[in-house]
Structure 1
Amino acid sequence: MKIPNVPNTSVKLMLFPFSLEGAARIWLEKEPPRSIETWDDLVSKFINKFFPPSKTTNLRNEITRFQQKFDETFYEAWDRFNDLLRGCPHHGFSELHQLDTFYNALNSNDQDSLNSAAGGNFLDKMPRECLKIIESKSKVRQSRNKAVVAKMSTSSSTPAISSDVAG
Structure 2
Amino acid sequence: MAPLPGKLNPCMPYWIRDQEGRLVRIETPRATELEIILEVMENQPEDQHSQHGQGNDPNLYRSMRDRMHPPRMSAPSCIIPPTEQLIIRPHIVPLLPTFHGMESENPYAHIKEFEDVCNTFQEGGTAIELMRLKLFPFTLKDKAKIWLNSLRPRSIRTWTELQADFLKKFFPTHRTNGLKRQISNFSARENEKFYECWERYMEAINACPHHGFDTWLLVSYFYDGMSSSMKQILETMCGGDFMSKNPEEAMDFLSYVSEVSRGWDEPQQEKWGRGQFSKCQEGGCTV
TM-score bracket, shorter-length normalisation: 0.5 to 0.7
Q: Does 1:57 align with 2:177?
A: yes
After TM superposition, give the deviation of residue 53 of structure 1 in Å.
Answer: 0.8
SS at match of 1:71: coil
Structure 2 stretches of 5 or more lacking a match? 1-118, 120-126, 269-287
Query: Which of 247, 252, 260 is matched with 1:127 structurally?
Result: 247
Q: Does 1:104 align with 2:104?
A: no
* CA shift in 2, pair 1:28/1:124, >3 Å: farther
**For the residues of structure 1 that align with 2:224 and 2:211, how far apart are their CA atoms?**
18
Residue of structure 2 equivalent to 1:35: 156
Quote the RMSD (CA, aligned, Å). 3.4
Q: Which amino acid aligns with 1:115?
A: E
TM-score by length of 2: 0.39
Residue of structure 2 equivalent to 1:115: 235
Quick check: 81-90 or 121-130, which moved more? 121-130
- On the 8 A contact 1:63/1:81 being kept in 2, the answer is yes
Residue of structure 2 equivalent to 1:5: none
* CA shift in 2, pair 1:51/1:118, >3 Å: same
Residue of structure 2 equivalent to 1:73: 193
Query: Which of 232, 256, 259 is matched with 1:136 structurally?
Result: 256
* CA shift in 2, pair 1:33/1:142, >3 Å: farther
Structure 1 stretches of 5 or more lacking a match? 2-9, 149-167
Q: Does 1:84 align with 2:204?
A: yes
After TM superposition, give the deviation of residue 12 of structure 1 in Å.
Answer: 7.1
Q: Which amino acid aligns with 1:46?
A: F
After TM superposition, give the deviation of residue 34 of structure 1 in Å.
Answer: 5.8
TM-score by length of 1: 0.63
Give aligned pairs, total: 136
**For the residues of structure 2 that align with 1:13 and 1:118, how far apart are their CA atoms?**
49
After TM superposition, give the deviation of residue 112 of structure 1 in Å.
Answer: 2.6
Q: Which amino acid aligns with 1:110?
A: M
After TM superposition, give the deviation of residue 139 of structure 1 in Å.
Answer: 1.3
Structure whose residues are more often helix by fraction:
1
- On the 8 A contact 2:176/2:208 being kept in 1, the answer is yes
Query: CA offsets, 1:77-108, max 9 Å, x none?
Result: 10111111122222111222111101110012
* CA shift in 2, pair 1:25/1:52, >3 Å: closer
- On the 8 A contact 2:129/2:158 being kept in 1, the answer is no
Between structure 1 and structure 2, the one with the greater Rg is 2
* CA shift in 2, pair 1:22/1:38, >3 Å: closer
- On the 8 A contact 2:180/2:208 being kept in 1, the answer is yes
Q: Which amino acid aligns with 2:256?
A: S
After TM superposition, give the deviation of residue 33 of structure 1 in Å.
Answer: 5.0
Q: Percent identity?
A: 28
After TM superposition, give the deviation of residue 42 of structure 1 in Å.
Answer: 4.8
Q: Which amino acid aligns with 2:167?
A: I
**For the residues of structure 1 that align with 2:189 and 2:259, how far apart are their CA atoms?**
19
SS at match of 1:143: coil
Q: Which amino acid aligns with 1:98?
A: L
